[in-house]
Structure 1
Amino acid sequence: MGLRWPYVAVWAIESVINPGCVGWWAVSGDLPTDYTGCGPERHPREGLRDIAARWQDAAEKWSENKSVEGWSIGTAEDRATLAPLLASRAKMLLSFAADDDLWFEE
């Protein structure tokens, strides 16, 4: 059996305040859909790192049956099941962000 790559899309969302500039990075696909504000570097790698860090924090808290302020996936009863899945997706996003072969510079 061959390697099955997950389906992940990284979206640049235009800023309402600064038209023509990226205001948000969003991810979707074989993982939860999420977004983060665009940092000064304006590169999708930063967006992936921000989202992955938030997911790592949530997975850690959920594995301890704690809530995460500001967002949730599923119900409180789902935390034990979702924590390792979210942690694995966070690790995957971090590996994508770190892999120079996946990115090109203009």
Structure 2
Amino acid sequence: MTQQQQAMSEQDVSEWVKQQLQKCTKFLAEKGIIVASVKMEDSRYLVPWVTAWKVQSTDGKYYWAVAGDLPTDVLPLSAAKDARAALRHLALGWQMKSENIRHASADDKTQQEFADLLDNKSQLLYQMTEQDQVWAKSQ
């Protein structure tokens, strides 16, 4: 357990996890994906950084939905076998997206700042997926 996790009470952790699930559910709804259920046994969270939820939509499709101290995002279940692979997939995708934003919006300061944020979060997320000790207890 990290120092930041130790500073959070069980109630704080529970509330943070609940907020991230709500954030994902809202994000998915805005994309036209209505969550019917969450597969908790396959979902993972690393408090207070990231949550990866395996969700089933009302039309029966499965997705990985990600939230936390990073951009909320979604990908189809077929893109990754587990939460760790889903986070790695998103990290690599965000790196490419940040480069595309930089090239397409060279004169837009706001877009450049977003590209920097996306690149930073993608690197942190990728590093997290590479740490076996982080995943040893959860998978």
Is the shorter-chain TM-score for this pair beyond 0.5, marking a shared fold?
A: yes
The residue type paired with residue 64 of structure 2 is W
Higher relative contact order (CA 8 A, sep 6+): 1
Contact 2:67 2:73 (8 Å CA) reproduced: yes
Q: Is the 8 A contact 2:79 2:86 kept in 1?
A: no
The one-character-per-residue Cα deviations of 1:11-69 (angstroms, maximum 9, x if unpaired) are 11136537xxxx211111111100111237631111111111221111101122x17xx
Gaps of 5+ in 2: 5-46
Question: Which residue of 15, 18, 24 maps to 2:63?
Answer: 24
Kept in 2: contact 1:59–1:86 (CA 8 A): yes
For 2:82, the equivalent position in structure 1 comes to: 43
Q: How high is the TM-score relative to the length of structure 1?
A: 0.69
Matched to 2:60, the amino acid is I
Identity %: 30
Give the superposed CA RMSD: 2.6
**1:99 corresponds to 2:131:** yes
Contact 1:10 1:28 (8 Å CA) reproduced: yes
Q: Within 2, Cα distance between the matches of 1:97 and 1:39?
A: 18
Q: If the length of structure 2 is used for normalisation, what is the TM-score?
A: 0.55
Structure holding more helix per residue = 2
- Number of residue pairs the alignment of both structures matches: 91
- Stretches of structure 1 that go unaligned for 5 or more consecutive residues are 68-75
Partner Cα distance (1:14, 1:78) in 2 = 34
The runs of at least 4 aligned residues of structure 1 exceeding 3 Å deviation read 3-6, 15-18
